Each structure stands twice: as C-alpha cells, then as structure tokens.
C-alpha cells in the first residue's frame, strides 16, 4: 500500500511521552513514526527553552571521512525531511557522491533526541523555485552571492560583493541559482530517545521495510 504507513509490531508496552502511563506499543495497535515525530516537533516548537527547534545536524561521508553540520529543517513530508542548500557546498558535493545521510535533532530541555537515516536527493526544481521566492529578498541575494564553502580573501570582501549586488538588483525579481535548492532525505530508519532517571532511557528504533514500519525497543 504505497504511501500508507503500517506497523509490524514487535514490542508490547512502553511509556514514550504520550501521557502518563500511556501505551503506544501494543498488539493490534498502530504506531506511526512520522506522526509521532510531528508531535514531538510541535512540543519543541512550543517549548520556551528551544530557540530553533528545526535545527538538525546532518552527517555525510566522503572519502571515508564523516562530516557533520547544522541545517534548518523546512518541511516534514510523508516519508522525507527537506532542507535547502548550495549544491556546490561541501555537503552538497558529499551528498552527490554518497547520498546516504543521517539527520538528528536534540532538544535538551525536553530530554529528547530523534535520529533519521536514509538517502538524499535533490528536490524538484519547481519546488525549489517556490521556496526560493518565499524567502526575504536579502536572503535570496545571499544565496546568489555566496559561493558556499569556497575560500575567500576576507569577510569584508564578501560584504562588499553582497552590498554591490543589492544596489544593482534592488528592483529585480531574483531567479534561483541552478546550484541552490532543496535536499530531501528519504527516511529508511528513525530512532526515538527519551531521557529518563538513572540513565534508564527509553529508546525505540523504526525500520521501514517494504512499506511497513518494523518497531523495536532498544536497551539504553
């Protein structure tokens, strides 16, 4: 059933932040990992102690060397996470050479972590165009002017180039650069972590296999 999340249940009970004593595992019960993540994400958005709940660390591997950096999640789709970047940046080139990607969220005040694994691809060009047009003009200009990850003479040189571009194009409708757009992480695995006392944390892992979610409880 393409597009419909189903679960092959392996565990029986666990309290995982759905309310005191709530059981989100159970024979005959359906747990939807993406829906559950959206709930946790909403909790993070509503938390006063979290400034950027959509900040996620993405990790790539190139030439057998791992590399991690923080980007901003822009959309949660049915089976994918979306962020935007310069395709010629270090992460863009790494993803092009090896599309296997890991993304993680950590919200300390909620004692929660979520880790996603999957494969990445460029978003549809029309989708990237639509998002680019939604950005503030100055942010559009920055995406055009900055050759992300390239060595520059100085920050002042970059600012001069940026300000010159603004002056020359302040009345323009800017076009999205071909080397800038969305990256979609197609989710194959999700791990949820909820901190508990005495380091006896709750952990579950969800594998997507043949359009079914296989759920397992992990020891902390």
d(CA 9, CA 27): 7
Q: Which of 49, 1, 33 is nearest to 207 (CA)?
A: 33
Give the chain's end-to-end CA distance (angstroms, integer): 33
d(CA 13, CA 204): 11
Output DSSP code: residue 220: -
148: left (phi over 0), alpha (psi -120 to 50) or beta: beta
d(CA 119, CA 128): 18
Calculate the alpha carbon distances from 143 to 32, 87, 165, 206 in Å: 36, 11, 11, 36
Output DSSP code: residue 46: T
φ, ψ (nearest 5 deg) of residue 166: -60, -45
Catalytic residues: 199
């Amino acid at each position: 059933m393409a597009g419909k999340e189903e679960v092959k249940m392996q565990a029986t009970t666990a309290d995982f932040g759905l309310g005191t004593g709530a059981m989100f595992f159970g024979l005959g019960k359906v747990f939807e990992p993406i829906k559950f993540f959206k709930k946790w994400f909403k909790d993070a958005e509503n938390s006063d102690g979290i400034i950027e709940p959509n900040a996620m660390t993405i990790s790539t591997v190139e030439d057998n060397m791992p590399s991690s950096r923080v980007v901003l999640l822009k959309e949660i789709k049915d089976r994918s996470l979306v962020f935007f970047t310069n395709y010629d940046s270090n992460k863009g080139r790494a993803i092009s050479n090896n599309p296997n990607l890991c993304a993680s969220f950590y919200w300390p005040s909620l004692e929660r972590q979520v880790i996603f694994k999957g494969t990445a691809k460029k978003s549809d060009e029309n989708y990237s165009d639509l998002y680019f047009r939604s950005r503030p003009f100055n942010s559009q200009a920055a995406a055009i002017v900055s050759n992300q990850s390239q060595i520059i003479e100085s920050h002042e040189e970059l600012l001069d180039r940026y300000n010159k571009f603004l002056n020359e194009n302040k009345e323009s409708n800017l076009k999205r650069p071909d080397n800038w757009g969305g990256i979609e992480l197609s989710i194959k695995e999700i791990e949820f972590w909820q901190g508990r006392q005495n380091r006896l944390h709750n952990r579950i892992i969800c594998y997507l296999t043949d359009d079914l979610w296989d759920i397992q409880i992990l020891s902390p």
